[in-house]
Structure 1
Amino acid sequence: SRGELSRGTVAFKMYLGVTPSVSCSNTAGNEFSLILDKNPLVDFVEELPAERASLCYCNLLCGVIRGALEMVQLAAEVTFLQDRLKGDAVTEIGITFLRKAEDRKHKRNK
């Protein structure tokens, strides 16, 4: 919902000093992307060595987001779609909820 997305963007501002824009990916409402024009975690990385080109340096963000969602019983797949360290214009994190919040509420009432 809009409230959760708003709290999420505030959390990014509090902890990383940037506010991501949110882009909804599908009509079902279970996928969206967080787009960071600036990623402070890459400020201290000059260039990845050729033998480490596949390293996703900021994958930490995906783990933090997934872990926070798990704390409120929301299972999600969180992946990098674009990475500034790989030459993309922005950092984009894709989030797909694996089950709806209504499913969780229904199971709890049984």
Structure 2
Amino acid sequence: MYLGVTPSVSCSSAAGNEFSLILDKNPLVDFVEELPAERASLCYCNLLCGVIRGALEMVHLAAEVTFLQDRLKGDAVTEIGITFLRKAEDRKHKRNK
């Protein structure tokens, strides 16, 4: 939402704990022309993984967020894989009367 793009969602797990966000256009790529040869392993857009993981932690969801495809590495799209590490616990809130 903050980047001005809407990802498509692809569920790739029968267990329902894993899915991918696919970005056809990644605005962060516009700021990088070409990675230097000595920095070819650098994942410039890994910032997005940290933002998503941090947002999920804020709502108490532990997840592993990784890049599966990156346009800077020559892929057609940017794909971010998200795997939830454990189920969210149902918490019952008690009211004091």
Same-fold call, TM cutoff 0.5: yes
Measured after TM superposition, the shift of residue 103 of structure 1 is 6.5
Measured at CA, do residues 46 and 30 of structure 1 come closer, stay the same or move farther in structure 2, by a change above 3 Å? same
- RMSD of equivalent CA atoms: 3.2
Distance 1:19 1:109, change over 3 A: farther
The match for 2:23 is 36
> Unaligned stretches of 5+ in structure 1?
1-13
Q: Quick one: percent identity of the two aligned structures?
A: 97
Aligned residues: 97
- Going from structure 1 to structure 2, the CA distance change for 1:73 and 1:104 (only over 3 Å counts) comes to farther
Rg larger in structure: 2
Cα distance in 2 between the residues matched to 1:84 and 1:39? 8
How many Å separate the matches in 1 of 2:82 and 2:42?
A: 20
Q: CA deviation at 1:105?
A: 7.2
Secondary structure class of the residue paired with 2:91: helix
TM-score normalised by structure 1 residue count: 0.80
State the Cα distance separating 1:100 from its structure 2 match: 1.1
Runs (4+) of structure 1 moved beyond 3 Å? 102-110
Measure, in 2, the Cα distance between the counterparts of 1:30 and 1:103. 16
Shift of 1:108: 14
More helix by share: 1
Change (3 A) 1:42 1:90: same
3-state DSSP class of the match of 1:70? helix
Q: CA deviation at 1:65?
A: 0.3
TM-score (normalised: structure 2): 0.91
Unmatched 5+ stretches in structure 2: none
